[in-house]
């Protein structure tokens, strides 16, 4: 007789859609603990711009994989998958329900499809070479190279997303296989848990309104001062500072753009990111979409019923 797999609830969706509030209230009601699947909330000293849950929000419910990596350290998807599965086991051992929460599609997919991303060593010389090409010949040169190597992966990557373009090239150089080939191979692995995936949907205009308001609140809370403190504390943190809000504030601090331009740019880029997140999560046919404008308790009842 086949052994029943342990249940893991996943709550994903675009930024500012209400994942934090929903997951904390759900965890209280079903004796759950939360594992963050947000690639920016892992970083220490980056609280405001990543919209980390507050101490008040986390005091009753244990959260994993938040606030534990220095901004100048590299943290891979492979490391996330390993840490997240360890956290799932720890929560299950307590007799509680793991709730994976976040908007980083790559992190979520690494779990629900059991994709094995190879944890390749960073080749500093090759990275510097690529950075030099981007600077001297333009990022489009690297984008075209990456398209030839992995046309499928590049469909989901913006021509301006230097970090992910370089990653596609690095993976191919280190392994001899492109990212898409690796994903196809690893998706054949049996998934360890019974993942119940829920994504928050919301009227686009309402979502954009929430995003704009959240950016205003972040700035009121001291986002600019947070970035200034980071710049002072850490010598370099290239990956962390590519995060939404952070790179625009750095441009402002370098006098490359005005304060008003910075605010407009953060809002615009966050809206674009939300759109990409929605597209990403729509790929999973098993996802159950819930309306973010519904009453919180109504959505919790839906999750409990469907999982």
3-state helix, strand, coil in the chain (%, to 5): 55, 10, 35
Distance from C-alpha of 62 to C-alpha of 69, rounded to nearest angstrom:
18
Render each residue's pLDDT in the chain as its tens digit; 307 residues.
Answer: 456 899 999 999 999 999 999 999 999 999 999 999 999 999 999 999 999 998 888 889 999 999 999 998 888 888 999 999 999 999 999 999 999 999 999 899 999 988 776 666 667 788 889 988 988 998 999 999 999 999 988 887 888 888 889 888 888 887 777 878 777 776 667 888 999 999 999 999 999 999 999 999 999 999 999 999 998 888 776 678 878 899 999 999 999 999 999 999 999 999 999 999 999 898 888 899 999 999 999 999 999 999 9
The residue ranges of every structural domain in the chain are 7-114+190-306, 124-185
pLDDT at 228: 94
Answer yes or no: are the C-beta atoms of 29 and 192 closer than 8 Å.
no
Q: How many Cβ atoms are within 10 Å of 121's Cβ, its own excluded? A: 8
pLDDT at 172: 84
Distance from C-alpha of 83 to C-alpha of 96, rounded to nearest angstrom:
18
Residue tagged 């010598």 (tokens): 235
pLDDT at 137: 92
Answer yes or no: are the C-beta atoms of 13 and 201 closer than 8 Å.
yes
Distance from C-alpha of 62 to C-alpha of 213, rounded to nearest angstrom:
28
3-state SS class at 12:
strand
pLDDT at 186: 62
- Alpha-carbon distance values, 82 to 77, 79, 140, 161, 184 (Å): 9, 5, 34, 26, 19
pLDDT at 122: 65
Answer yes or no: are the C-beta atoms of 177 and 188 closer than 8 Å.
no
- Alpha-carbon distance values, 191 to 147, 194, 264 (Å): 30, 8, 42
pLDDT at 40: 94
The sign of the dihedral angle between the CA atoms of 67, 85, 270, 210 is negative
Q: Could you tell me which of 127, 156, 162 has the C-alpha nearest to residue 143? A: 162
E strand residue ranges, 121-220: 194-201
CATH superfamily of 7-114+190-306: P-loop containing nucleotide triphosphate hydrolases (3.40.50.300)
Q: What value, to the nearest 5°, has the Cα angle with vertex 40 and ends 273 and 237? A: 110
pLDDT at 142: 93
- Alpha-carbon distance values, 179 to 78, 149, 284 (Å): 13, 9, 18
- Alpha-carbon distance values, 276 to 15, 123, 273 (Å): 10, 29, 5
Residue tagged 């729509």 (tokens): 282
pLDDT at 37: 97
CATH fold, domain 124-185, is Histone, subunit A (1.10.20)
Answer yes or no: are the C-beta atoms of 171 and 126 closer than 8 Å.
no
265: which residues sit within 8 A by CB, 6+ positions away?
248, 251, 257
- Please list the residues that pair with 11 across neighbouring strands: 101, 198
pLDDT at 127: 84
């Amino acid at each position: 007789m086949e052994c029943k797999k342990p249940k893991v609830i996943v709550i994903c969706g675009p930024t500012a859609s209400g994942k934090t509030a929903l997951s904390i209230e759900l965890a209280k009601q079903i004796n759950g603990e939360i594992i963050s699947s947000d690639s920016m909330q892992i970083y220490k000293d980056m609280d405001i711009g990543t919209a980390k849950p507050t101490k008040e929000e986390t005091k009753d419910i244990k959260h994993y994989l938040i606030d534990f990596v220095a901004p100048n350290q590299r943290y891979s998807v492979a490391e996330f998958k390993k840490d997240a599965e360890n956290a799932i086991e720890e929560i299950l051992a307590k007799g509680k329900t793991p709730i994976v929460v976040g908007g980083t599609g790559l992190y979520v997919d690494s779990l629900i499809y059991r994709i094995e991303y190879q944890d390749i060593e960073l080749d500093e010389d090759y990275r510097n070479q690529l950075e030099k090409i981007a600077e001297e010949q333009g990022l489009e040169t690297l984008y075209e190279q990456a398209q030839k190597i992995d046309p499928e992966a590049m469909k989901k990557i913006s021509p301006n997303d230097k970090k992910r373009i370089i990653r596609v090239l690095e993976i191919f150089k280190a392994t001899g296989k492109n990212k898409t080939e690796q994903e196809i191979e690893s998706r054949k692995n049996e998934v360890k848990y019974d993942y119940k995936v829920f994504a928050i949907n919301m009227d686009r205009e309402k979502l954009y309104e929430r995003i704009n308001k959240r950016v205003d609140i972040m700035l009121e809370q001291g986002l600019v001062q947070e970035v200034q403190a980071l710049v002072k504390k850490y010598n370099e943190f290239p990956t962390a500072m590519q995060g939404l809000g952070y790179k625009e504030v750095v441009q402002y601090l370098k006098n490359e753009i005005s304060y008003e331009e910075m605010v407009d740019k953060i809002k615009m880029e966050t809206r674009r990111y939300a759109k990409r997140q929605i597209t990403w999560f729509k790929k999973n046919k098993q996802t159950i979409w819930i309306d973010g404008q519904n009453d919180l308790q109504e959505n919790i009842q839906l999750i409990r019923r469907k999982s």
